[in-house]
C-alpha cells in the first residue's frame, strides 16, 4: 500500500551535512547556557584539572563580556595543578596575558581585581606576579558592596584561606 519513496543520494548528503552543521550550533548553544558564576567559583576553589578544562570550554563558548578575565584566571589556576615546569609556565603565561588584557580593557572591574589577587597571592615567586596585591585588595574592599551576591560569597569563601583578605574587612 505504501511505497518507498526514492530519495536521490545528493539530497541525502545535503540532509546529513545540514544535520551535522546544525548540531554544532546546538552544542555551542548548550555550553553557552551552562555558564554560571557560582559554578565558575566552585571550579576555581576545587582544584580539579578536568573541571577546569570543562569550565574553560564553557567560558570560551559563553556570551559573557567577562570571559577573557575568567579564562585567564582558569588558565593560571590550571598551571598550578598540572605537572611539568614547561607546561606550568605555558598555561600561566597564557592566563596572565588574558587576565592583564581584560584588566586593561576594563580597569574598573572589581571582579577581575579579585581574581587577579587570588592568583597573585598563591603564585610562585619565580613568575613575578605579586606586584598588584595591595592595590587589588583595596579595590576589592572598596567595591565589595557593589558586587553580585555570588561574587561576594566567593570573596568571603576565599577569605578563609587568604593571608591578604579577611572576612571582617567586608562587614
For the stretch 23-78, pLDDT in tens is 554 444 444 447 889 999 999 988 899 999 999 999 999 888 889 999 999 999 99
Residue-wise pLDDT tens digits, 136-156: 999 999 999 999 999 999 999
Number of other CB atoms surrounding residue 95 within 10 Å:
23
Question: Which of 95-99's residues contact partners 24+ apart within 8 Å by CB, and which partners?
Answer: 95/71, 95/119, 96/72, 96/127, 96/129, 97/72, 98/68, 98/69, 98/71, 98/72, 99/68, 99/69, 99/72, 99/73
Q: What is the value of pTM for the model shown? A: 0.78
Residue-wise pLDDT tens digits, 67-113: 999 999 999 999 989 998 899 999 999 999 999 999 999 999 999 99
Task: Give residues with Cβ within 8 angstroms of 160, minimum separation 6.
Answer: 167
Amino acid at each position: 500500500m505504501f511505497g518507498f519513496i526514492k530519495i536521490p543520494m545528493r539530497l541525502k548528503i545535503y540532509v546529513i551535512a545540514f544535520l551535522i552543521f546544525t548540531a554544532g550550533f546546538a552544542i555551542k548553544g548548550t555550553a553557552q547556557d551552562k555558564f554560571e558564576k557560582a559554578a565558575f567559583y566552585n571550579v576555581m576553589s576545587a582544584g580539579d584539572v578536568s573541571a577546569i578544562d570543562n569550565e574553560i570550554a564553557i567560558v570560551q563558548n559563553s556570551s559573557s563580556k567577562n570571559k577573557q578575565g575568567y579564562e585567564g584566571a582558569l588558565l593560571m589556576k590550571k598551571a598550578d595543578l598540572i605537572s611539568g615546569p614547561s607546561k606550568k609556565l605555558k598555561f600561566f603565561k597564557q592566563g596572565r596575558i588574558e587576565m592583564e588584557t581584560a584588566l586593561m580593557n576594563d580597569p574598573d572591574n572589581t571582579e577581575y581585581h579579585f581574581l587577579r589577587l587570588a592568583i597573585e597571592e598563591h603564585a610562585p615567586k619565580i613568575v613575578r606576579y605579586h606586584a598588584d596585591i595591595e592595590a587589588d585588595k583595596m579595590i576589592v574592599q572598596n567595591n565589595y558592596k557593589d558586587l553580585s551576591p555570588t561574587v561576594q560569597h566567593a570573596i568571603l569563601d576565599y577569605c578563609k584561606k587568604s593571608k591578604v583578605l579577611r572576612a571582617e574587612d567586608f562587614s
